[in-house]
Structure formats: structure tokens, C-alpha cells
């Protein structure tokens, strides 16, 4: 499930593989509870959360992992120590197993993102 054709996030979750659906739903719940004032949209075939028309957060079920996209460099820098041990690309946390998602870290990243606007990469 690399790029979904789902029209909304509920549809996206419905088509997700059963073994990942709960983790993806939990990511959605965290985004919806922490990102007040953001719009939930489908962008590039995945759920994304926009503020003033700009996506700052997204997530996706990839073939080999679950991706959590953190598009704010200032937030990544502020969490540099906590992100150091994570499988991370330029703006993407990769969780190879749903049970290994650090939901506390994700929540803290979401709170920092929501706290103030910033520049996305």
C-alpha cells in the first residue's frame, strides 16, 4: 500500500492491511487530538495534516514499514536527541513493526508542531 486512491482517511484506513490498521488508526487519533486547527486531508495518497494549506505532518503504510512524516525542520532539530536512535530519513520516521511505534514520541512531536507555525522542508 504505497500510494492510495482513497478519497478520505477513513477509506485509507479501511484498505490498510489488517496487521497495520490499528497502528495507523492510532496515529490518526493522535493527529486529530493534538493538531487542533489543522485540516485532515489526503495528499500524495496518504493522510496529511495541513495548517493554512501547508502539510506539516503525514503518515503512511508502506510495503515494509509505517512512515510518519515530520516536515518541520525546527521540530526535528528540537527533538534531535530523542530521534537519534530512530530509523529516520530527512523528514520521515520509519517503523518497521507496528508494535515498535513510539507513540509517546509521536505525541510529543505533534504537540511541538501544533504549538507554533514553522517552515516546512
Radius of gyration over alpha carbons of the chain, in Å?
A: 13
Judge whether residue 1 has pLDDT over 70. Answer: no
Question: Does the pLDDT at position 2 exceed 60?
Answer: no
- DSSP H or E segment with residue 72: none
At residue 3, the pLDDT reads 74
pLDDT score, position 5? 85
Which tens digits make up the pLDDT trace of 11-41?
999 999 999 999 999 999 999 999 999 999 9
CA distance 108 to 111: 5
- C-alpha distances out from residue 10 to 16, 47, 57, 85, 107, Å: 10, 9, 17, 32, 21
Output the pLDDT for position 4: 83
pLDDT in tens, 64-120: 999 999 999 999 999 999 999 899 988 899 999 999 999 999 999 999 999 999 999
Residue 121: what pLDDT? 83
Domains of the chain as residue ranges with CATH: 9-114 (3.90.1150.200)
pTM for the full predicted model: 0.93
Choose the weakest-confidence range: 1-10, 26-35, 50-59: 1-10
Q: What DSSP letter does each residue of 9-54 carry, written as one string?
A: HHHHHHHS-HHHHHHHHHHHHHHHHH-TTPEEEEETTEEEEEETTE
Amino acid at each position: 500500500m504505497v500510494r492510495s486512491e482513497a478519497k478520505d482517511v477513513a477509506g485509507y484506513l479501511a484498505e490498510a492491511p489488517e496487521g497495520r490498521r490499528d497502528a495507523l488508526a492510532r496515529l490518526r487519533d493522535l493527529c486529530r487530538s493534538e493538531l487542533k486547527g489543522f485540516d485532515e486531508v489526503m495528499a500524495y495518497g496518504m493522510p496529511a495534516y495541513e495548517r493554512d494549506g501547508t502539510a506539516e505532518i503525514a503518515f503512511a503504510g508502506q510495503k515494509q514499514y509505517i512512515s510518519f512524516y515530520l516536515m518541520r525542520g525546527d521540530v526535528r532539530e528540537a527533538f534531535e536527541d530523542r530521534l537519534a536512535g530512530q530509523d529516520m530519513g530527512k523528514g520521515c520516521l520509519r517503523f518497521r513493526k507496528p508494535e515498535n511505534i513510539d507513540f509517546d514520541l509521536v505525541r510529543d512531536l505533534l504537540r511541538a508542531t501544533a504549538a507554533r507555525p514553522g517552515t516546512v522542508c
